[in-house]
Amino acid sequence: MELALAGSNGKKQGGLVSDARTGKRFPLELPIKIHKADEAGQHSGVTGNLSAAGVYIRADASLEIGSNVEFEITLPPEVTGAQEGVVVQCRGRVVRADEPTGNTRGVACVIDSYDFVRQS
């Protein structure tokens, strides 16, 4: 996204603005299943907020900054307007990790790709 800014001389200056936090965030606490790329099994957690570009997760997993992660979120009918929950499988990267609180840790992940999973 390009944004024109007026400099101190009054002339417009072009610049790039990061899209990292421009998407609308929804403060949804939804269960999330986390699959670390380098390990078998899954971890569980809960979303803190969710946008089209990323998600904040509180989880029992030790997720390091820069690591790849796959996760699955079920959006409830009241969020989507559908008759049943909608499962979204996401692939992304951890971009921020907060200090642990008890046995959970908050991490921010950027979503690189996602797929909607049809329920049978």
CATH at residue 34:
2.40.10.220
Residue 101 lies in a domain: yes
pLDDT at residue 4 in the model? 34
* Average pLDDT by stretches of 10, the chain with 120 residues: 37 41 81 82 91 92 90 90 91 93 91 85
pLDDT at 18: 41
pLDDT at 97: 93
Predicted confidence at residue 24, as pLDDT, reads 86
pLDDT at 21: 52
Quick one: pLDDT at residue 16? Answer: 38
Rounded Cα–Cα distance for residues 104 and 55 (Å):
16
First-to-last alpha carbon distance for the chain, in angstroms, is 39
In a domain, 100, yes or no: yes
> Do residues 106 and 58 make contact, with C-beta atoms less than 8 angstroms apart?
yes
Question: Within a domain: residue 17?
Answer: no
Range of the domain at 49: 23-117
pLDDT at 62: 82
Flag whether 2 is in a domain. Answer: no
| 62 occurs within a structural domain | yes
| pLDDT at site 61 | 83
Task: Say if CB 73 and CB 81 are below 8 A apart.
Answer: no
pLDDT of residue 104: 87
Position 49 in a domain? yes
* Residue 3 covered by a domain: no
Q: What is the pLDDT of residue 15?
A: 37
Structural domain total, the chain: 1
pLDDT at 9: 43
**Within a domain: 105:** yes
